[in-house]
């Protein structure tokens, strides 16, 4: 049995669709509040999952700045509850994180970094996503609603992107990966003006200020981290000197090293 939390989210919905092609899946979302320890424990005792894809979370940086305690309760306490319940039934946990956990500047990013640490310390696997254009509630969905002759609002910032397929492939692969933190290759960082011009050529744009919690440049990794190729796979391992568990690697030089 596979359990997916946050199954109504952008990645969660598509992950459940992929899994149900060949697996037995129990999908939950807000009906199971992960910050409720007793509710989480009861669910695990009921279904005894072998693999848990923990995607549930308070995901928006802006909302996290307005309600940092809510972000903490869901992202930190909720992850701890899932880990404790998973341990009780011997389940492996795959946790979805974000590039905003790299040297976080926001409450949301900080809660995801703490959750990463909890998962790694418990022997689980972290998949860290960059921005996914196909996800719900992002600027790409906003742009789609702008009337054809109106300017596109653009924020002065730089972002890394991965596709939904990359996110799904990495998440599914993680069930067979050793404890560690993994990412897809997002390519080069893009300025949002460039992104808008590529999607809407010859369309007028108008600059709008960044929202609270939106930083100018999302980093590829934290300052203390190194990105390593992983056994010829289409993803990499991100290692920090603060990681307790250090899986064996087949390469000797990190990406970007001299």
pLDDT above 90 covers a percentage of the chain that reads: 81
Which of the two residues, 258 and 72, has the higher pLDDT score? Answer: 72
Q: What is the pLDDT of residue 258?
A: 39
Q: How confident is the model at residue 58 (pLDDT cuts 50, 70, 90)?
A: confident
Instruction: Give pLDDT, residue 67.
Output: 85
Phi and psi angles of residue 119, each rounded to the nearest 5 degrees, phi first: -65, -45
| DSSP-derived secondary structure for the chain | -EEEESTTSHHHHHHHHHHTTTS-EEE-STTS-TT-HHHHHHHHHHH--SEEEE------HHHHHH-HHHHHIIIIIHHHHHHHHHHHHT-EEEEEEEGGGSS--SHHHHHHHHHHHHHHHTT-EEEEE-B-TTSTTSHHHHHHHS-TTSPEEEES-EE-B--HHHHHHHHHHHTTSPSEEEEE---S-EEHHHHHHHHSTT--EEEEPPPTT--SB--SS-TT-EEEE-TT-SEEEEE-TT-S-----S-SS-TT--
Query: Domains in the chain, start-ordered, CATH in brackets?
Result: 2-131+163-185+226-239 (3.40.50.720)
- pLDDT above 70 covers a percentage of the chain that reads 93
pLDDT of 154 reads 96
Summarised one tens digit per residue, pLDDT across range 59-116 is 766 676 778 899 999 999 999 999 999 999 999 999 999 999 999 999 999 999 999 9
Q: What is the pLDDT of residues 154-207, one digit of tens each?
A: 999 999 999 999 999 999 999 999 999 999 999 999 999 999 999 999 899 999
Q: What is the pLDDT of residues 114-162, one digit of tens each?
A: 999 999 999 999 999 999 999 988 899 999 999 988 999 999 999 999 9
- Is the pTM above the cut of 0.95? no
């Amino acid at each position: 049995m596979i359990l997916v939390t946050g199954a109504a989210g952008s990645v969660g919905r598509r992950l459940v669709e992929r899994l149900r092609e060949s697996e037995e899946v129990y999908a939950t979302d807000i009906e199971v509040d992960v910050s409720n320890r007793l509710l989480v424990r009861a669910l695990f005792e009921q279904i005894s999952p072998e693999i848990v894809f923990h995607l549930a979370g308070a995901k928006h940086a802006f909302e996290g700045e307005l309600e940092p305690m809510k972000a903490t309760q869901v992202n930190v306490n909720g992850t701890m509850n899932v880990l404790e319940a998973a341990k009780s039934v011997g389940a492996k946990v795959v946790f979805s994180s974000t590039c905003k956990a790299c040297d976080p500047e926001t409450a949301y990013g900080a809660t995801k970094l703490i959750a990463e640490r909890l998962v790694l310390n418990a022997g689980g696997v972290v998949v860290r996503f960059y921005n996914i254009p196909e996800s719900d509630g992002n600027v790409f969905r906003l742009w789609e609603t702008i009337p054809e002759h109106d300017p596109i609002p653009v924020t002065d910032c730089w972002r890394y992107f991965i596709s939904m397929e990359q996110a799904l492939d990495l998440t599914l692969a993680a069930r067979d990966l050793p404890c560690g933190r993994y990412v897809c290759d997002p390519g080069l960082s893009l300025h949002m003006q460039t992104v808008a011009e590529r999607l809407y050529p010859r369309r007028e744009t108008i600059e709008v200020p960044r929202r609270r919690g939106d930083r100018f440049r999302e980093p590829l990794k934290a300052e203390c981290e190194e990105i390593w190729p992983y056994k010829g796979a289409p993803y990499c391992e991100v290692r920090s000197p603060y990681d307790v568990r250090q899986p064996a690697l087949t390469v000797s030089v990190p990406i970007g090293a001299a």
